[in-house]
Amino acid sequence: MATVPPLKFTVRDPNGLSLLTGPPFSGEPAATFEKIPCSASKFSNDGSKLAVTTPNALVIYDTDSGKELIQIPAAGVASAVFSPLGTYLQTFQKPQGQQKNLVLWDSKTGSIVLQQFQKAISKTSWPVIQFSDDESVACRLVTNEVHIFDGHDFSKGIIDRLRLPGIDGVQLAHSPASHIAAYVPEIKGAPANVRIFELANVSQAQSVARRSFFKSNTAQLSWNKGSTGLLVLAQSDVDKTNQNYYGESRLHYLTSDGRHEGAVPLSKEGPIYDVQWSPNGKEFLVVYGFMPAKVTLFNVQCKPLFEFGQGPYNYLRWNPQGSFICLAGFGNLPGDVAFWDRESLKCFHTLKAPVTVTAEWSPDGRYFMTATTAPRLQVDNGFKVFKYDGTPHYEKKYDKLYQAEWRPASSDVYPDRPPSPGARKLESKVEAPKTVQPRTGTKPGAYRPPHAGQAASVKAQLLGLDETSKASTGSSAGLSKSALKNQKRRQKKKEGADS
């Protein structure tokens, strides 16, 4: 059996960035390097490289040895990210005039591969240049167009383009790079729409699938592994029904063969908090609805497979192997965390992780890290590492912590392992959220305040009701006025007979 590399993770505080080894470990984790001054860091997808942002340069390190590989003379970098295979490093600097501030660097030589102007970036638009997983194709969204590049040879320039007036979002299918999805928001009363195009015929602008909808000025597009299904989380800034302060959200699903397009059948009204494809690309999870939120598992036919019940959740994560699922409630929620086994669809542990800012599975899928970081929170900073069954493994507190992040790994590095027998035994001891039963046609009863039961008891004593009469007629709080009069009349007759 081949040996697997040890887990590693970074932590960054005011003193700098450290790359630490483990878990597992006893005592304190060993360091590959410690306290490198920087303002940010980013791993390559396979975890072999780490780019560190300093005021005057980007420094790339080998994460196994800790050796410095190269310094790229890029000052004032605001964001940096590796291409999927680590061939390129993409950087963005705040624009100064018409300076070409979006740069693609060769990560080995430090030479510039592509340089263009970019006015601004956002969380949804970064990285600006998207790559397929094999880096064979790259694309970039510009005004009313998507430019296509040969990912192996940018000297060819733009090799194809998709012309689509009003386009505001694009997502290249990563594996394989067979299709591209484009989003156009609502414009002058016309509905928003999402279209899927075959990459081989993209210049013809003939879509193979299309979905139109209202109530959307932004959208998040998410392809599955295999490039067969696309999830579209459409959002509007304003909820016209005034039920949700953060606006409205709807989830749509399209297939790249054009056989399915429609809304995902969610069974509860309210916001959509998180949507996550399984690593195998064959199913997806959604957490949605006014609190307590519902969690539902769907297959690639968009049919519900399993209901996880309801709970204070707004966060979903599959472990990298797709065998375990974490449901949690972070942010303004109290930090409930539940771990589920995908095979048995049973919850095997729950815990509390309040004031969590970030949380992720380790690449081997056996540990889960939560962190409380600045500037989001200025107090109680630190991170915790739990085993997949919820057992606490390590905790460290900081006066101020900016970042805690696992070193990633390729999907074939850490094989899937089933839960241990001990974790299986925990299933029967954990009270998981109960699946909500469908509503019946029975009308709900009238509201009774909490003190009603006590008031009924006192009233019964005043009226002289014995336990037998209460059991047969119900609490006096539920009697009508005429029924109370009849009850008093019978009581008086009984008292007269006794005398």
What is the pLDDT at residue 237? 77
Q: For helices 452-463 and 481-498, what crossing angle results, to 10°?
A: 30
Prior bond of 127 cis (ω within 30°): yes
- For residue 83, which phi and psi values (nearest 5 degrees)? -70, 165
What pLDDT is recorded for position 448?
39
Nearest to 86 by CA among 67, 65, 104: 104
pLDDT given at position 490: 59
Looking at residue 217, its pLDDT comes to 87
b vs e for 449-471, b when ≥16 Cβ sit within 10 Å of the residue's Cβ?
eeeeeeebeeebeeeebeeebee
pLDDT at 188: 84
Backbone angles phi, psi at 159, to 5 degrees: -100, -15
Per the CB < 8 A criterion, the answer to whether 136 and 177 are in contact is: yes
**Residues paired with 64 in a beta bridge:** none
Q: Which residues of the chain have pLDDT under 70?
A: 1-2, 238-246, 420-499
Spatial neighbors of 18 by CB under 8 A, at least 6 apart, are: 10, 11, 12, 31, 33, 34, 35, 36
Q: What is the pLDDT of residue 60?
A: 97
186-245 tens-digit pLDDT: 988 899 999 999 999 998 889 999 999 988 889 999 999 999 999 999 998 765 555 555
Instruction: Report pLDDT for 246.
Output: 62
Q: pLDDT of 321-332, one tens digit each? A: 999 999 999 999
Residue whose entry in the numeric block shows the structure tokens 């797709």: 322
User: In the prediction, which pLDDT does 390 show?
Assistant: 86
**143-160 residue pLDDT tens:** 999 999 999 999 999 999
Residue 202 near residue 180 (C-beta atoms within 8 A): yes
Give the CATH number of domain 125-263; options: 3.20.20.10, 3.30.465.10, 2.130.10.10, 3.40.50.2300. Answer: 2.130.10.10
pLDDT for 327 equals: 97
| pLDDT at position 460 | 37
Instruction: Report domain extents, the chain.
Output: 125-263
